Homo-oligomer: A and B are copies of this chain.
Amino acid sequence: MKITAIHEKTASIASPIANAYIDFSKMTCSVVAVVTDVIRDGKPVVGYGFNSNGRYGQGALMRDRFIDRVMEADPDTLVDEQNDNLDPFAIWDTLMKNEKPGGHGERSVAVGTIDMAVWDAVAKIAGVPLWRLLADRYRDGDADDSVWVYAAGGYYYPGKDHAKLQDEMKGYLDLGYEVVKMKIGGVPLADDLKRIEAVIDVVGDGKNLAVDANGRFDLDTTLAYGEAMKPYNLFWYEEAGDPLDYEIQARL
């Protein structure tokens, strides 16, 4: 059993939206296919992965370093004999060979996206959904019947007024979501408070609304927003300041 190819394609996911920190006018995303020599239904099993928006596709890094490490490794070292499957942990170790510790930036996107595709292949080789495979292997078969989700939106974009923001949020409720998230920090505090109140009018209560500043705020702004939003009793207040600014995190 072996991986016969790893393909990456960088897709544009450009859009006119913006959060408090970045716009998405040139955003890209990597789509990865891990091809195996295992045949199911007459075709090779292929695992797929993709990365989230915000940090761009990382195909160049995959081709520079990561794909070759897997393809040049002895295939026998990447096999999980016990389960007659690929070994995602051995593949992870191979991907991270000769990588300095710390400084996980683009690398975590490149490695994580390949890892996602590997796990997809592992589940397909086993012939079960990945949640079932994980529950069987690591949780004595115990799996949750449902998973909590929320709708992340409320970006800034040209011409988006309160009515359009409310329409967007109504759309999420119509799809069955109870909790929604919106971006803050792209306009002054007073304007953001009006946006927040407009969304609360739609979702009924602050506890159904999370906000995300995407790391934009300095300490004073972090705390000013926190104070101002306190009465709304929001679901959460996400990434107020730079994630590496420990003073902000601690004070918040």
Contact A102 B242 (CB under 8 A): yes
Chain B residues with CB under 8 A of A24: 98
Those of A74-117 within 8 Å (CB) of chain B: 97-108
Q: Out of B23, B60, B98, B242, which one reaches A64, CB within 8 Å?
A: B60
Contact B100 A21 (CB under 8 A): yes
Task: Among A22, A24, A54, A98, find the residue whose CB has the most chain B CB atoms closer than 10 A.
Answer: A98
Those of A4-23 within 8 Å (CB) of chain B: 21-23
Contact A103 B60 (CB under 8 A): no
Q: Out of B55, B63, B102, which one reaches A100, CB within 8 Å?
A: B55
Chain B residues with CB under 8 A of A54: 100
Chain B residues with CB under 8 A of A1: none
Q: Does A48 contact B (CB under 8 A)?
A: no
Bound together, the chains give a CA A242 to CA B99 distance in angstroms of 12
Contact B101 A21 (CB under 8 A): yes
Q: Does A43 contact B (CB under 8 A)?
A: no
Complex copy number for this chain = 2
Q: Does A221 contact B (CB under 8 A)?
A: no
Task: Say whether chain A's binding surface is mostly helix, strand, loop, or mixed.
Answer: loop
Considering only CB atoms and an 8 Å cut-off, how many residues of chain A contact the other chain? 32
Mask of A198-221 contacts with B, CB within 8 angstroms, 1/0: 000000000000000011100000
Name which residue of chain B comes closest to A63, CB basis: B60
Other 8 A-B pairs with CB < 8 A, given A22-B98, A101-B214, A102-B243 = A21-B101, A54-B100, A55-B103, A100-B215, A101-B216, A102-B215, A102-B242, A103-B104
Binding site for B on A (CB under 8 A): 21-26, 54-56, 60-61, 63-65, 97-108, 214-216, 242-244
Contacts A/B (CB < 8 Å), 22 sampled: A23-B98, A24-B98, A25-B98, A26-B98, A55-B100, A55-B103, A56-B64, A60-B60, A60-B61, A60-B63, A61-B106, A100-B214, A100-B215, A101-B243, A102-B215, A102-B242, A102-B243, A102-B244, A103-B106, A103-B108, A105-B105, A105-B106
